[in-house]
């Protein structure tokens, strides 16, 4: 009963902590507006974007270096130049962009984003800088079957989840079945394999796909829309009036000279050609290499920290001290009871309100804290598996508790749990891929970039799959080697 009570208190403390942190941002934007001055003082304008959306923003692989380019990036550059600061680009998934803004990870967000009323509730928007219009992508073979929006009635249509295109199709096309996916590349793949009849997209994106893939074409939609739900605007943290004003000034200049159509889109088109000139996977090996590198770094560092944390938690859990035990039990139960993805988001955005941690560090912390809890349970099981007689024999020799643990119990426990620990390390390699949502350039992240850049749906997935397999298989061999070495004693 007492233990249950302690556990509940622990939980309550954790929840209070989280709530306190989630309250913090509101006090941040309650401050009077010094947003422009603040940006100018630090000398950098931080743009958050999701570079898998050509021609708005995407990554280009030029002279062995990869950089983020596109129409939105050109606009961001101009704004930075106009207020005399340097542009810094942070990449992450589309879903994370506005959170990054609210939690101070970024100063502005460009992502072909429509300033919808619901988004306006949490952020401020600049004037509309571009009216893309809405298209559908269809298979070329279906050109006569689906000449216009009306002909798509009662069909299966795809759109990115949470986007305007998704809501429009649902609302205005009679009898339609909507299939939502996260990635444009996945939608196009579904289209080409006839799981979908059409995909709703922004006009420039649809045109870019059509240009790069001869089996699909773009047709215009006939939605009647107001500017706010179809144009793109720049998002800022609430209350950044001076920064918004500065951006609007730059946007007016861009519009006056029609820079988007005359310059930016042409540049983007050229970059796209660079990307699609050679879409062989070999050409993109550097992307994959970097992905493998980051995946390994995260798994290795988190594995080591996880083991250390796991040992500490396991010893706390086995301790006689009720408080230590309660803390360990509460921690383990809490971590195991929440998804890793939520933990990653919490560390990056939630804790980020207090200390601004880079994405990689946040990712490693979250994955370490997570695996620590699982490893603690494995280790506890291992310690329990060592017979009581071992402890008694060691005690009867006068050995201290620490020496018994270190020389007698833990080595035997380690041997017993080695296979389970191996499983945990393997799953660490695979599960850590969730950090891609906060823009850590691990293998999954790079996979999505390559898919977006090359307009190839399947091949990059296959390459990533093989790479993951090589990593886990290699690790299995190494672990087996050590297991063999521990076997000499039996």
Partner 1 sequence: MTHNAVIEVKDLAKKYGKNDVLKNISEEVHDGQVICVIGPSGAGKSTFLRCLNKLESPTKGQIKFNGTEITTLSEKELSTVREKMGMVFQNFNLFPNMTVIQNLVLAPIKVKKMSSQDAEKEARSLLKRVGLEEKANAYPDSLSGGQQQRVAIARALAMNPQVMLFDEPTSALDPEMVGEVLAVMKELAEEGMTMVVVTHEMGFAKQVADEIWFMADGYIQEQGTPTEVFDHPKTDRAKDFISKIINS
Distances 259 to 55, 67, 250, 252, 418 between C-alpha atoms, Å: 15, 21, 11, 10, 61
Asked if 261 is part of the footprint of partner 1 (rule: CB under 8 A), the reply reads no
Asked if 321 is part of the footprint of partner 1 (rule: CB under 8 A), the reply reads no
For 378, residues 6+ apart whose C-beta sits below 8 A from its C-beta are 310, 417, 420, 421, 424
Nearest alpha-carbon partner for 444 in 416, 463, 422, 417: 463
Query: Residues, the chain, total?
Result: 490
The stretch among 45-53, 152-160, 359-367, 395-403 that binds partner 1 (CB under 8 A) is 395-403
Asked if 257 is part of the footprint of partner 1 (rule: CB under 8 A), the reply reads no
Binding-residue total with partner 1 (CB under 8 A): 22
Asked if 385 is part of the footprint of partner 1 (rule: CB under 8 A), the reply reads no
Q: How far is the CB of 412 from partner 1 (least distance, A)?
A: 5
Asked if 489 is part of the footprint of partner 1 (rule: CB under 8 A), the reply reads yes
Rounded CA separation 476/425 (Å): 9
**Pairing between strand 65-69 and 156-160?**
unpaired
The stretch among 65-73, 190-198, 335-343, 385-393 that binds partner 1 (CB under 8 A) is 385-393
Among 256, 389, 477, 481, binds partner 1 (CB under 8 A): 389
Q: How far is the CB of 304 from partner 1 (least distance, A)?
A: 22
Asked if 315 is part of the footprint of partner 1 (rule: CB under 8 A), the reply reads no
Q: Which is nearer to partner 1, 481 or 488 (CB)?
A: 488
Q: Where are the alpha helices (DSSP H) in 175-319?
A: 184-192, 203-212, 227-230, 241-256, 259, 265-277, 285-318
Asked if 318 is part of the footprint of partner 1 (rule: CB under 8 A), the reply reads no
Question: Which residues, in sequence order, are bridge partners of residue 360?
Answer: none
Binding mask 396-425 for partner 1 (x = CB under 8 A): xxxxxx-x---xx--xx--x----------
Q: Which is nearer to partner 1, 278 or 400 (CB)?
A: 400
Strands (E), 17-164: 44-49, 52-53, 57-62, 65-69, 86-91, 108-109, 123-131, 134-139, 156-160
Asked if 26 is part of the footprint of partner 1 (rule: CB under 8 A), the reply reads no
Q: Please, what sign has the CA dihedral across residues 161, 164, 168, 169?
A: negative
Q: Which is nearer to partner 1, 117 or 398 (CB)?
A: 398
Asked if 484 is part of the footprint of partner 1 (rule: CB under 8 A), the reply reads no
The stretch among 113-121, 156-164, 223-231, 382-390 that binds partner 1 (CB under 8 A) is 382-390
Distances 293 to 179, 286, 320, 471, 480 between C-alpha atoms, Å: 34, 10, 42, 11, 23
Token look-up 């929006």 returns 149
Q: How far is the CB of 312 from partner 1 (least distance, A)?
A: 21
Q: Which is nearer to partner 1, 224 or 488 (CB)?
A: 488
Q: Which is nearer to partner 1, 226 or 489 (CB)?
A: 489
Question: Six-digit token pair at 219?
Answer: 């047709």
Contact 298, 317 (CB under 8 A): no
Asked if 319 is part of the footprint of partner 1 (rule: CB under 8 A), the reply reads no
Asked if 150 is part of the footprint of partner 1 (rule: CB under 8 A), the reply reads no
Asked if 392 is part of the footprint of partner 1 (rule: CB under 8 A), the reply reads yes
Asked if 258 is part of the footprint of partner 1 (rule: CB under 8 A), the reply reads no
3-state secondary structure of 85: coil
Asked if 488 is part of the footprint of partner 1 (rule: CB under 8 A), the reply reads yes
For 13, residues 6+ apart whose C-beta sits below 8 A from its C-beta are none
Rounded CA separation 98/445 (Å): 19
Asked if 262 is part of the footprint of partner 1 (rule: CB under 8 A), the reply reads no
Q: How far is the CB of 374 from partner 1 (least distance, A)?
A: 24
Asked if 384 is part of the footprint of partner 1 (rule: CB under 8 A), the reply reads no
3-state secondary structure of 109: strand
Q: Which residues bind partner 1 (CB under 8 A)?
A: 387, 389-390, 392-401, 403, 407-408, 411-412, 415, 488-490
């Amino acid at each position: 009963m007492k233990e249950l009570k302690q556990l509940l208190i622990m939980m309550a403390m954790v929840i209070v902590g989280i709530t306190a942190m989630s309250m913090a941002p509101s006090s941040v934007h309650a401050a009077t507006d010094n947003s422009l001055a603040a940006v100018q003082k630090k000398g950098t304008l931080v743009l958050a974007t999701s570079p898998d959306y050509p021609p708005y923003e995407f990554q280009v692989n030029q002279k062995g270096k990869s950089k983020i380019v596109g129409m939105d990036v050109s606009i961001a550059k101009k704004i930075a130049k106009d207020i005399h600061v340097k542009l810094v680009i942070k990449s992450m998934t589309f879903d994370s962009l506005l959170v990054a803004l609210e939690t101070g990870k970024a100063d502005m967000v460009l992502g072909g984003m429509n300033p919808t009323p619901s988004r306006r509730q949490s952020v401020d928007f600049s004037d509309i800088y571009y009216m893309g219009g809405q298209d559908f992508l269809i298979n070329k073979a279906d050109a006569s079957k689906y000449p216009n929006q009306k002909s798509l009635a009662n069909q299966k249509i795809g759109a990115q989840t949470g986007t305007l295109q998704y809501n429009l199709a649902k609302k205005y096309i009679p009898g339609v079945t909507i299939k939502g996916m996260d990635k444009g590349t996945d939608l196009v793949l579904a289209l080409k394999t006839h799981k979908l009849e059409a995909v709703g997209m922004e006009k420039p994106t649809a045109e870019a796909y059509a240009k790069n893939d001869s089996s699909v074409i773009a047709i215009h939609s006939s939605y009647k829309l107001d500017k706010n739900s179809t144009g793109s605007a720049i998002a800022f943290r609430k209350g950044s009036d001076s920064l918004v004003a500065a951006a609007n000034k730059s946007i007016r200049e861009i519009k006056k000279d029609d820079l988007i159509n005359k310059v930016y889109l042409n540049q983007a088109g050229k970059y796209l050609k660079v990307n699609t000139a050679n879409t062989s996977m070999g050409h993109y090996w550097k992307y994959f290499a970097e992905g493998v590198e980051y995946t390994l770094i995260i798994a290795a560092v988190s594995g080591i920290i996880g083991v250390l944390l796991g040992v500490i938690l396991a010893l706390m859990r086995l301790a006689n001290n009720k408080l230590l035990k309660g803390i360990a039990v509460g921690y383990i139960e809490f971590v195991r009871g929440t998804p890793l993805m939520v933990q990653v988001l919490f560390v990056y955005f939630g804790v980020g309100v207090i200390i601004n941690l880079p994405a990689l560090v946040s990712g490693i912390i979250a994955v370490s804290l997570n695996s620590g809890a699982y490893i603690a349970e494995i280790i506890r099981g291992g310690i329990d598996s060592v017979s009581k007689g071992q402890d008694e024999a060691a005690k009867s020799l006068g050995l201290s508790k620490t020496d018994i643990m270190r020389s007698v119990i833990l080595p035997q426990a380690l041997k017993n749990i080695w296979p389970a620990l191996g499983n945990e390390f393997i799953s660490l390699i695979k599960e850590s891929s969730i950090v891609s949502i906060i823009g850590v350039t691990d293998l999954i992240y790079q996979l999505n970039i390559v898919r977006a850049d090359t307009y190839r749906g399947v091949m990059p997935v296959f390459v990533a799959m093989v790479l993951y397999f090589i990593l886990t298989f290699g690790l299995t061999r190494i672990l087996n080697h050590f297991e063999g070495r521990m076997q000499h004693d039996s």
